[in-house]
Structures are given as C-alpha cells and as structure tokens.
Structure 1
Amino acid sequence: MSKINCVAIDDEPFALEIMADDIQKISFLNLVGTFSNPMDAWELIKQGKVDLIFLDIQMPVISGTQFLRSLPKPPMVIFTTAYQQYALEGYDLDVVDYLLKPIPFDRFLKAVNKAEELFRLRSKEQQNLPVVEDVNFFFIYSEYKQIKIYFDDVLYVEGLKDYVKIYIKQQSKPILTRMNLKMMATKLPSNLFCRVHHSFIVALDKISAFQKTKLLVGEKELPIGRKFAEFFEQQYQQ
C-alpha cells in the first residue's frame, strides 16, 4: 500500500523540527521535505509530488491561507497554527484538519488518520475511473445549455463573486456561467493557466507582456495581485 507523500511548512525552526519528528513516527506517511518558506515548496507541489501539506498560517512572506488559495489544484492540507481565529477560514478552504500548537501527539494522530482515510478513498475512486485519452476541452453550463470550450481558445477568465466570464478568441462577448473562480481553476490545466489576481485567471501562452503589477493579453490590460505575483513569474518564465 503506497505511503502518503507529505511536506511540512513552518517559519519556526523548532516547530518544523517537532512536526518532522511526529510525521516520521507514522508508518503510512513519507516526509519528502520541510520548508520555512512556502515558496520553496511550490515547485514540488505543482509537480503533483505531494499528497498532504502540514501548513502553518502566520508566516512573513505569505500566509498559509494565501498560499493555499494560490494553488490551482491543492493536495490535502492540515493547518498547524497557534491561532484559533483562523479555524472558520480553514473550514471554508476545505482542509482536512486544524491543529492548534502545541500539538499533542494523540491529536496529531487523529488528524493524520483522517487524511489517510481520505487518501485511500480518493485512490480507490481513481482506480475505478475509466481510462480516457487526454482531452483539450471542457464543458460549462451557460444560457440553458452545455457549451464545449477548447483550452487553446481561452484568453482569460474574470471572476464576479458567484459568476465567471470566460473570454474566448475571436469572440467579443464573454461566456457567462454561474461558478466561482476557484471552481473554474479546477477545470483548467495548471501548466497552461495561472491565477494572477483574486478576480483573474490567464492563459499563459496568450500573455504578450507583463510588469510587476499588470500584464497584457493582446491589448487588454489585467492586474497582477501582489500575493500572486511571485507564483505567476515562476510559472510564466519556466
């Protein structure tokens, strides 16, 4: 039975050391890295080599919640924090569990058992899926019908709370559908698209130029959010 590949992210060295020690006591966990800066874990996570993140929340470069929101297809997450006030936000982000420091080992064990159960369930579901060829399109529901959209035709997506506008090549009017931007991101390949702002996802190959705070898709200028800037530059310049 395969182990759960996990990383621990915490800007406090002592807390990171304790977490790594606890992880190594669990037979079904495989610790593949510890990081004091979430940015250093980005590439490993993006490559799909991480099944579970133990993630601190209050960190100087970027908070754990901001980091999690920036991931297009996040793995399972267990928050580890000294601050109880983030519990509701953790619930909204659909994390596996929320651990308050100092973390008793029995409470840690309960959290990782939940993660292990979820991991096995997802693995079983994946095994039961039919084998299909790679697709280059997705469907969305708009104007009372299912619309097929090719990835290559998408210029960018704009989020409007509970709706998104999908801007398509050679089409002046965007396609409007009831969906939030986070859900939209799950339909788009992370190697082709990047979230650059709270309100925008952009097709990387449609970007003609960018600066620190803005980019161009054709003649359309879009903002780059401060918390997304570093992730965007890493992904775009690969």
Structure 2
Amino acid sequence: MKIRCLVVDDERLALEVMESYIERAPFLQLAKLCSTPLEALDFLSRNTVDVIFLDIEMPGLTGLQLLQTLKAPPAVILTTAYPQFAVDAFELNAVDYLLKPIPFPRFLTAVQKVQSLVSAKAAVSPALENRTNASAGPMFIKSGTKTVRIDFTDILFIEARKDHVLIITKQHKIATQLSMATLLEKLPAEQFLRVHRSFIVSITKIETIERGRILIEKTEIPIGEFYRDGVNERIRFQ
C-alpha cells in the first residue's frame, strides 16, 4: 500500500524538491502540491491523505495555524528553514521536523516513521472490528493456579512486563501469561484503548492527558509514538 502525500509550501523550488523525493520513494504517492494553506484546506475537504509535508512560514496563514484548524489531521512532517519552531512541532505532535535544505536521507528517515504509523494503524483496525463483539460481562483469567473473574468496569489499566502481564484494578494486581493481543480481543473496544506496546487503558478511568502521558490513579502511563494518532482520534470522540 502506498502512502498518499500532500505537500504544502509557498516556495516553488521547495515543492519541486519534495515532489522529486516522493517520486524516488517507491512506497510514496504524491496526492497534491499546494502553494497556499487555503488551497490545502480545500483539497483536504474533499480528499484524504496519509501525511502532510507542511511548511511553517507562509503568508496569510502559517503552517502551524493550518494544522490547528484540522479536526483530525493525518501524520504531519513540518518543513522549515527556522530551527526555533522545533518546540511548536513537538507540542502539535508532528511526526518529524525537517530543516531546509532537506537531504534525501533525512527525508527518508522521516517518511519511514510515517510508514510505521500507517502499518500500525492497518494492524489495529482488524483487531478493533473483532473486539466490537466482545461481551459486556466479566472475563475469566487464568492467574497461576487460579481462575479469576474480572469485571471490565474494575480495570484501570493493563501493563505488559518482561515475563507476564498485569491487570490493574483499584483493589488488585492480577498476573497472567496471556498476551496483550489476546487480552485486547477479550475487552470491549468502546471501553479500552491500547496506548503503548506495554499498556492498555480503560478510557473511562483516564484523569488527564498531558505531554504524551496519561494519568490514571496517580500512575503515569506513556503514549507510544505509533499509538499517538489513535489515542487522539478516540479521545476526540469521547
């Protein structure tokens, strides 16, 4: 599957460079070159893309302002000649930040991050479909020599350790040898969300989300880079 790319930059030479780079990468497909943010907004209102290569400094509407107007933006790679915008890129959850002039190897490093994100989303989608039929009732988990009943509403989060998985409730920590993938299939999709390769959280137990971390019952849970977009999309609709 090719990754659809939108390039937004007011400099003709910058557009031509990005176009040539995309053509050289066999897993990328150019969807559109836009010379203004408004042209990009119009295109996005009628089309979907996997990644936007977005220049920051543009007249009228900056790249950062354009990004803030998008309700559910795709992956974004910011491009600029000004290194001082790196903090803004971090706060807006950009996948990467490319300084002009952009070397082709550095471009490839950035798009490989997007490729990993797209692959992760594709792998998550079938799992979510399977989980929509999960029972609203309890599940029974093998823990050592015991079989333990766990009510979904009691679960705060689930954490993968080196050689076992912990199901955390307010009262208990239940260890099991089941994999995270197996547990995810047992949990109702509307209540639980994988936010890191080592963490599944109960959405209703989330207290705050700040700077890539979720707080549940005084426990800080990291949001993995590959799961960040999925978390943002789910939380928006809560």
Same fold (TM over 0.5): yes
Q: Deviations over 1:98-150 (max 9, x none)?
A: 000000111111111111111111111122212669xxxx99xxxxxx7xxxx
The C-alpha deviation readout for 1:52-100, integer Å capped at 9, x for no partner, is 0000000002101110011000000000100001000100110110000
Aligned to 1:70: 69
* Stretches of structure 2 lacking an aligned partner (at least 5 in a row): 134-189, 192-203, 205-209, 211-231
CA distance in 2, matches of 1:13, 1:91: 27
Q: CA deviation at 1:184?
A: 9.7
Residue 31 of structure 2 aligns to a residue whose secondary structure is strand
The answer as to whether partners of 2:72 and 2:233 remain within 8 angstroms in 1 is: no
Distance 1:128 1:185 in 2: 18
Deviation string 1:13-35 (CA, Å, 9 cap, x unpaired) is 01111111111111111101000
Contact 1:44–1:50 (CA<8 Å) still a contact in 2? no
Q: Secondary structure at the match of 2:129?
A: coil
TM-score by length of 1: 0.55
Q: Which residue of 2 aligns with 1:100?
A: 99
The one-letter amino acid of 2:59's match is P
Q: Distance in 2 between matches of 1:71 and 1:184?
A: 15
2:78 corresponds to which letter in structure 1?
F
Distance 2:63 2:117 in 1: 21
SS at 1:130's partner residue?
helix
Matched, 1:186 2:198: no
- Structure 2 Cα separation of the partners of residues 47 and 53 of structure 1: 15
SS at match of 2:86: helix
1:158-237 aligned within 5 A = 186-187=236-237
Shift in Å, 1:47 = 4.1
Asked if structure 2 preserves the Cα contact closer than 8 Å seen for 1:13 and 1:36, the reply is: yes
Which segments of structure 1 move beyond 2 Å, counting only runs of 4 or more?
Answer: 43-48, 182-186
Partner of 2:60: 61
Q: How many residue pairs are counted as aligned between the two chains?
A: 143
Q: Distance in 1 between matches of 2:52 and 2:117?
A: 14
Please show how residues 127-166 of structure 1 align to structure 2 within 5 Å.
127-130=126-129
Query: TM-score normalized by structure 2?
Result: 0.55
% of aligned pairs identical? 41
The answer to whether the 8 A contact 1:72-1:185 is kept is no
**Which residue of 2 is the match for residue 224 of structure 1?**
none
